[in-house]
Structure 1
């Protein structure tokens, strides 16, 4: 781990700094099949937390960043209309704790953060979205493959709208050879029409994942377009986008109203049937950010 930190980041990244003191990676908007950004020279989509401290804001500026909270599960709730999932978000409750409480028939207090039931539900929902099979899920949860199969079956029985939506995605892909994301972008899956069952099965596992990941990518890109407009208006500069996080360079004199304008773009550019949420931080060094209230209460110290 230390060798990788030294060779891949501490020694390598400074060699790629341009004349303006920054690193400019190459970003490919269609570098992944789902439409998420890919990048190289260097791969800025792969900066682990211990390497992010290498990046600092220019003098007199700060990094204002917004990280979409549970971006993909929110799309799952939006697309399926499953009441438990939708209502959890609309009422500001924790999705995984709420769903675990419902599925296992336990008080919500026993399914809180850190509980095995919440962990199982979070892993299970991700497995549903990514098409993870029972064997992989069993390894992730440390349970038997039979228990994993029972868990998935129990999940689908409890949340039939999720099951119906996933089945519908697969039937659509088999018939048309593609699936459709938010705003109509298509992911071609010609293998879904294959007569070879194994080839078709692999395509089926990608159908739902493509819709959710691709829709999240669309939300991020549309948000970045609107943030660039905000940057022009305020004299800020776009800094970076990594996975679900988007950041700008703003003057250290920024106000709470400025932060509210930034948050409004993150939350309202693309509206779903459930409310969006973004975790906002302000920092001088990436990876050492402070929540908004903490920053403004003690700005000089931080």
Structure 2
């Protein structure tokens, strides 16, 4: 672990339960100083709040495993967060990302992979249940939880030297800063209209039949509550929509396919929302605390690209899009959804150093600019004058970013494969330097079995290899880096970030501060793009909602939300 040296290294673990607001309730803490072996055991449940007993300044390193949990306990206890944080979970994920492991990514898995002793899974689960149960705790139970907590701390002391030689401390400390940001974001939560959510929960079963009838008026694909494939095939044929098919020849009815097709055919969005709501949405699984805040684990670094992977059923931005209408700021507050404009395109332009691509991004409409470069529209064309041609070239850009081939692109744009092939050829001709860079990355990955981002998030290439996924990795993974840097900068600046969402953040502020917080957020997101892309700055957009208004995704979820609300008022 080359780089910054620390006078003390503290390995720390908390045991905790959960409050009615879904925030951590600390039961106990154990910490051991790595060099001296000094041990601290502290019982915290049911006692007056204590000051943090650990040195957390810049000369000390705080080590934990999945330490957004520990940071959540710090916040609940009113303790400051440590200056320097090393999360061995993040580093274990970074060191093994892309490999098929015989173990999970938890502490027991990391210990097993390094040949270190650990307690049994059964014992660990029993102790976690005891911590979650809540007090009062007997003296024996307190000792049992402290002893169990110490086993995790001693495990960290043993694991650290096994991993340390592969850790880039500068990159690791950035990931540690992000875990602090995650804890702050999870602690804030997303404001939800609880009275309306309770009405939906109470009446959802009764609403479903009427909702099917209302939505299906435009499609005619349901019989009762059953989605009929033959009727859907007839609808597709009537409207001349070429739908992707499985190798068997049957229509591909996966939700991700519906989601992709709804982007190309917005009229399908209500049907996709209906199918998802009936099939996968479970309103009672949706996690909202007593204070009306949606809180769940953001699950950082869980995907290969390093993006968060929160539970779709528990996270409002992972569920059906229309459900986001439940996001509503409290009285006197507002929320803002701030996102980067064409983030993946800008990342590709900057990292590849393709000047034509950079200029296309700088134009403000890279899709139309691509069409002009390729000769698909006149040089004076606008979004309004040539909407259909722009849509084709936009679909081509997105196809490249998503790693789609000509067949998938042809399905998406409802054109023969030869047309899709020609559009992809035009992209290669327009952005030759980008393609040289992209193909070179794939070649390097196949030769060296490795790719990494600007801040060291690593992908080991193994098993069945998909060259298109490799080509897409650096755009997606560096996009994840950018979001992490933005969340770090924003939370450290005191901005109340409610949620990170792929290439965007949701923030909140009192109404008198909202405009300034939005301006500050956009400035910091621009700074994050410069840190990742070497002074190439991405632009941002902001959608602002003042109480009593609620968040609304007009294009994808708005019409379905209106149908649900209309039926709720009419029937309930």
Which interval holds the TM-score relative to the shorter structure? 0.7 to 0.9
2:411 matched residue in structure 1:
139
Q: Does 1:17 align with 2:288?
A: yes
Q: What value does the CA root-mean-square deviation take over the aligned residues?
A: 2.5
Distance in 1, Cα, partners of 2:310 & 2:407: 32
Residue pair 1:65, 1:282 contacting (<8 A) in 2 also = yes
Distance in 1, Cα, partners of 2:360 & 2:430: 15
Residue pair 1:170, 1:207 contacting (<8 A) in 2 also = yes
Q: In the alignment, which of 333, 355, 368 is matched to residue 83 of structure 1?
A: 355
Distance in 2, Cα, partners of 1:26 & 1:106: 47
Q: Does 1:287 align with 2:558?
A: no
Q: Does 1:61 align with 2:320?
A: no
Give the match's secondary structure for 1:63: strand
Pairs within 5 Å for 1:155-174: 155-174=427-446
Pairs within 5 Å for 1:83-122: 83-90=355-362, 92-104=363-375, 106-110=377-381, 112=383, 115-122=387-394
The structure with more radius of gyration: 2
1:175 matched residue in structure 2:
447
Change (3 A) 1:7 1:206: closer
Q: Deviation per CA, 1:99-139: give whole Å up to 9, x if none.
A: 11110253134452562221122111222222211111111
1:29 matched residue in structure 2:
300
Distance in 2, Cα, partners of 1:160 & 1:63: 41
Q: Deviation per CA, 1:43-79: give whole Å up to 9, x if none.
A: 4442444211111112321113311111111001112
Residue ranges of structure 1 left out of the alignment (5+ in a row): 192-198, 290-302
* 1:163 shift after superposition: 1.6
Q: In the alignment, which of 516, 527, 532 is matched to residue 268 of structure 1?
A: 527
1:151 matched residue in structure 2:
423
Residue ranges of structure 2 left out of the alignment (5+ in a row): 1-272, 555-572
Count of residues in correspondence between the two structures: 274
* 1:210 shift after superposition: 1.0
Q: Deviation per CA, 1:154-183: give whole Å up to 9, x if none.
A: 321232112201210111111111222232
Distance in 2, Cα, partners of 1:242 & 1:56: 17
Give the match's secondary structure for 2:513: coil
* 1:261 shift after superposition: 1.8
Q: Does 1:259 align with 2:505?
A: no
Distance in 1, Cα, partners of 2:275 & 2:441: 44
* 1:97 shift after superposition: 0.6
1:229 matched residue in structure 2:
492
1:299 matched residue in structure 2:
none
2:471 matched residue in structure 1:
208
What TM-score comes out, normalization by structure 1 length? Answer: 0.81
Give the match's secondary structure for 1:279: strand
Greater relative contact order, per chain length (Cα 8 Å cut-off, separation 6+): 1
What TM-score comes out, normalization by structure 2 length? Answer: 0.45
